[in-house]
Amino acid sequence: MAERIGVYVCECGPNIKDAMDLDEVVTFVQGLENVVLTKAFGLLCAQEGQELIGKDIKEHDLTRVVIAACSPKEHEKTFRQCLEKAGLNPFLLQIANIREQCAWVVKDKSLATDKAKAIIHAAVRRVAYHEPLEVKEIACQPHALVVGAGMAGISAALTLAQKNRKVYLVEKLPCIGGKVACYEDVFPSLECASCILDPILDEVLHNEHIEILTLTEVQEVLGFYGNFLVKVTKKARFVDTETCIGCGACLETCPVTVKNEYNEGLDERKAIYIPYAGALPNVAAIDKKHCLRWQGEACSACREACPFGSITYEDTDQVRQLRVGAIVLATGFDLFDPARAPQYGYGKVEDVYTSLEFERLVNSTGPTQGKIVLRNGQVPEKIALVHCVGSRSGKFHEYCSTVCCMYLLKFAHQVTRQLSGVSILGFYSDLCLPGKEAQGFFNKISQEGNIQWLHMKEPDSIEITQADGKTLIRFTDVHGSPREVTSDMVVLAPAMEGARDAGAMAQIFDISQGAGEGFFAEENSQIAPVSTAIEGIFIAGCAQGPKDIQSSVAQGQAAAGRILSRLVPGEKLALEPVTAEVDEDLCCGCKLCVGLCSYKAITCDNLKNNVAINKVLCRGCGTCAAACPSGAIKAHHFTDTEVSEEIRGLLRQG
Amino acid sequence: MKGFEPKIIGFLCNWCSYEGADAAGRARKAYPANLRVLRVMCSGRVDPQFILEAFKEGADGVMILGCHPGDCHYKEGNLQTLKRYYVLKRVLSTLGIEEDRLRLDWISAGEGDKFVQVVSEMTERMRQLGPLPR
Ligand SMILES: Cc1cc2nc3c(=O)[nH]c(=O)nc-3n(C[C@H](O)[C@H](O)[C@H](O)COP(=O)(O)OP(=O)(O)OC[C@H]3O[C@@H](n4cnc5c(N)ncnc54)[C@H](O)[C@@H]3O)c2cc1C
Ligand code: FES
């Protein structure tokens, strides 16, 4: 191999020059194979240094360049550009790090000289085998994926939706709006929830840049920032969304009745259903698990009843591949299951409810049309509101769920508004009322109705049981005295946790979660609260941690802003040139490498019985090449030959 | 064995350990000149063949330094390295090469001090073991 290698030794002012015998180094290098030119220079990274290299490349027909200087982390890019300007492929360069890893750490001049010689020798031997590599560019995907259509996801989607950019809004339920769509009123304004939400939902539903995918879940994510490939499955709805107007004719004839999970199981729905009155999009859906047709019966009651011919039993689940540049995860929260803490009597004592159940109870589209009644239909005279269920205790969650004090106050207001003369018992150990509105809200609501505050010693110094048809509440008060009261209804404020399937999502998107609580981990809780460790994947809303609507919206918009600032339509994305490649003839199809690839870049062609590496997905770690038993995988820029030559160069000095 | 100075090859991953070594340099922390560094993108690239070759070519000791588990720039390359490391140790002992002549460690970009310590320990150990008989 007759390469023409130019070697440049940087003096780096006194940094390298004084640490070793540069004359000896230069003399040594001049004697190496393929080296046609060796120069020591004051400061190579300076303009004059770069110009010198460029000039030499042309004048001396150099085919390879070695720069013995500082770490490649400092100036590899600089010198690659220098080669490129002179018409040489930038990868025909090797940096010999004789500053950080030699001059600065070896105090003995003669040892430093020897070590520098070895490092340069290795670079010279290696560079002779370098191959030109090409940096390919692909168009950056300006589109975005938002997972979860609650307040946070919707805010992100609306901020992102612009000309030349499409937003896929993926929601696993048949309707959008998240938890807030199930509320009657919202704190602190006490405005009606649908008054705030409906115009926003309408905007999302009619925004031409947003494609809403309901009943849809993410299966797999490949790729990286600017170029994600996301596989989603859209479950069959069996109702045509274009023609169904949500008239509900089908619901009446359906013979199957099941518990309605959209009303927290407090009433029943049919196998064809609309989650709750006012759910958007206002389109029915068939629940395949309960519909008789999928139990082998020939029922077609809904199809017969539908005046618009919208029932489509032949629907199938659709798998779609979405290409997006960035992703916002806004999968929200679920509540801690209070049955895990038997002391609260949930599931055993009849009139103990969770806060989300109470939201439905008090909601005009809910199971009782908004009437606050006990399970036996009677109106309660006493209602207990229990704070911090599963929050702020060593047993379950140490953190405060942030919004419970506020929504329990909202409940107190709703109860007082509806039931005059009702007495409210507030069981708390501390109140959390930060910010500019909460304390005022507390003051206002406290004066409004008949609320008796019962101060407990610890957040969980309470036990709720059923005795003689009454709900008995025993607790330890703040002075340590045991006390006892009865109540007709109890509403618990269970801790907020990350969404039930957040763990599965974290795996799919390769991001981390906090231990035990299921919230996604942010890149930095202070200065990067909506980004994750994976570039291009953002988190927003209660998926990141407990918070109210205001903060959820702020995070959704923040995540969108982060994306907008970088993911500009028309932008190009440079692909990693240092990738691995398979020699089809050598590959024996053992597939050992397939499972090793963290990026799922390796696929197997079973017909040809060999594997191939996707150049766009490969990041160039080289793990597959190291594992290939037949040596069929070439790790570009770190080929077996290049590494072997480097080993020899480092060891066979002079 | 007095006066023997071992040759040590270190395979350092680009993202953490090579950075860690640079950090030691920036802080002007002296360490034995015996180490010769070979940069790879990920410790996962270190083919067992490379290690055998290094011993064949005259190395008295070989080090593989990668990101801490969980921190690999390529997610799990270093876990692959860890698995191979155990196999390699057994292979080496059947070849009559003392296990201590191969060392795997995790060095993060900020751990310049740890890098210096690991290199110093390795050098000292190789001095004790003496040249690899060939
Ligand atoms: C009882 C109660 C009352 C409250 N009242 C108020 C109030 O009055 N005022 C106020 O400011 N805040 C209130 N909050 C807080 C408020 O509910 C949250 O701030 C808000 O819901 C957060 O919105 P989000 O979009 O982050 O999550 P969510 O509302 O939980 O929405 C998440 C969405 O993502 C979907 N999703 C989940 N997982 C997936 C998946 N894997 N794939 C696709 N989609 C998925 C869900 O179906 C849901 O639609 C209350 C909270 C509770 C518990
Ligand atoms: S990048 Fe450091 S071990 Fe993989």
- Domain locations in chain A? 5-133, 142-235+317-329+518-575, 249-305, 333-497, 576-636
Please give the Cα distance from A313 to A135 (Å, whole number): 50
Which CATH number among 3.30.2130.10, 3.90.209.20, 3.50.50.60, 3.40.50.11690 corresponds to the domain A142-235+317-329+518-575? 3.50.50.60
Helices of type H across B1-134: 17-26, 48-56, 77-94, 112-129
Please give the Cα distance from A560 to A326 (Å, whole number): 9
Q: Would you call A104 an interface residue with chain B, using a CB distance cutoff of 8 Å?
A: yes
pLDDT over 90, % of chain A: 91
Evaluate: CB of B123 within 6 angstroms of ligand 2. no
Topology (CATH level 3) of domain A576-636 = Alpha-Beta Plaits (3.30.70)
DSSP letter string over B22-41? Answer: HHHHHTT----TTEEEEEES
**Is the per-residue pLDDT at A521 higher than 80?**
yes
Q: How do strand A633-635 and strand A580-582 relate by DSSP bridges?
A: antiparallel
What architecture (CATH level 2) is domain A5-133?
3-Layer(aba) Sandwich (3.40)
**Is the per-residue pLDDT at A594 higher than 80?**
yes
Please give the Cα distance from A143 to A570 (Å, whole number): 11
* CB-CB contact of A205 with A281 (8 Å): yes
Q: Would you call A349 an interface residue with chain B, using a CB distance cutoff of 8 Å?
A: no
For range A80-99, the mean pLDDT? 98
pLDDT over 70, % of chain A: 100
Helices B112-129 and B17-26, interaxial angle, to 10°? 100
For range A18-43, the mean pLDDT? 97
* Domain regions of chain B by residue span: 8-129
Beta-carbon contacts of residue B116 (< 8 Å; ≥ 6 apart): B24, B29, B30, B31
* CB-CB contact of A126 with A94 (8 Å): yes
Point out the least confidently predicted range of A157-171, A640-654, B19-33.
A640-654
Contact check, Cβ <8 Å, A643/B19: no
Contact check, Cβ <8 Å, A108/B49: no
3-class secondary-structure state, position A652: coil
Contact check, Cβ <8 Å, A622/B41: yes
Contact check, Cβ <8 Å, A105/B73: no
Q: Would you call A627 an interface residue with chain B, using a CB distance cutoff of 8 Å?
A: yes
Q: Assign residue A296 a region: left if phi > 0, alpha if psi is -120 to 50, beta otherwise?
A: left
A5-133 and A576-636 in the same fold: no
Of A165, A107, A221, the C-alpha closest to B25 is: A107
Evaluate: CB of B42 within 6 angstroms of ligand 2. yes
**What was the pLDDT predicted at A568?**
87
pLDDT band of A654, cuts 50, 70, 90: very low
Q: What angle do CA A458, A461, A463 make, to 5 degrees?
A: 160
Burial class (CB in 10 A: 0-12, 13-18, 19+), A453: exposed
* CB-CB contact of A386 with A377 (8 Å): no
Please give the Cα distance from B23 to B20 (Å, whole number): 5
Residue-wise over A551-581: b if at least 16 C-beta within 10 A, else e? bbbbbbbbbbebbbeebeeeeebebbbbbbb
Give B104 to chain A, closest Cα distance, Å. Answer: 16
Backbone angles phi, psi at A31, to 5 degrees: -85, 0
pLDDT band of A127, cuts 50, 70, 90: very high
Topology (CATH level 3) of domain A333-497 = FAD/NAD(P)-binding domain (3.50.50)
Beta-carbon contacts of residue A48 (< 8 Å; ≥ 6 apart): none
Strand intervals (E) in A280-411: 285-286, 318-324, 326-329, 333-335, 352-354, 382-389
| A541-586 confidence digits (pLDDT tens) | 999 999 999 999 999 999 999 999 988 888 888 889 999 999 999 9
Please give the Cα distance from A346 to B35 (Å, whole number): 65
Backbone angles phi, psi at B81, to 5 degrees: -60, -45
| A399-425 confidence digits (pLDDT tens) | 999 999 999 999 999 999 999 999 999
Residues with CB under 6 A from ligand 1: A 147-153, 170-173, 178-180, 183, 186-187, 217, 330-333, 355-356, 359, 403, 407, 410, 499, 501, 505, 541-543, 547-550, 552
Residues of A in contact with B77 (CB under 8 A): 598, 621-623
Give A237 to chain B, closest Cα distance, Å. Answer: 38
The token pair that represents B60 in the structure block = 């008295």
**Is the per-residue pLDDT at A19 higher than 70?**
yes
Contact check, Cβ <8 Å, B22/A101: yes
Of B18, B39, B21, B40, the C-alpha closest to B31 is: B21
Residue-wise over A113-123: b if at least 16 C-beta within 10 A, else e? bbbbbbbbbbb
> Number of Cβ pairs closer than 8 Å across A and B?
117
Please give the Cα distance from A442 to A448 (Å, whole number): 10
DSSP letter string over A223-274? Answer: EETTEEEEEEEE---SB-TTT-----HHHHH---EEE-GGGTTSSEEESEE-
Check whether domain B8-129 has CATH 3.40.50.960, yes or no: yes
Query: What is the complex's ipTM, to 2 decimals?
Result: 0.97
**Is the per-residue pLDDT at A395 higher than 90?**
yes
Helices A22-30 and A109-127, interaxial angle, to 10°? 30
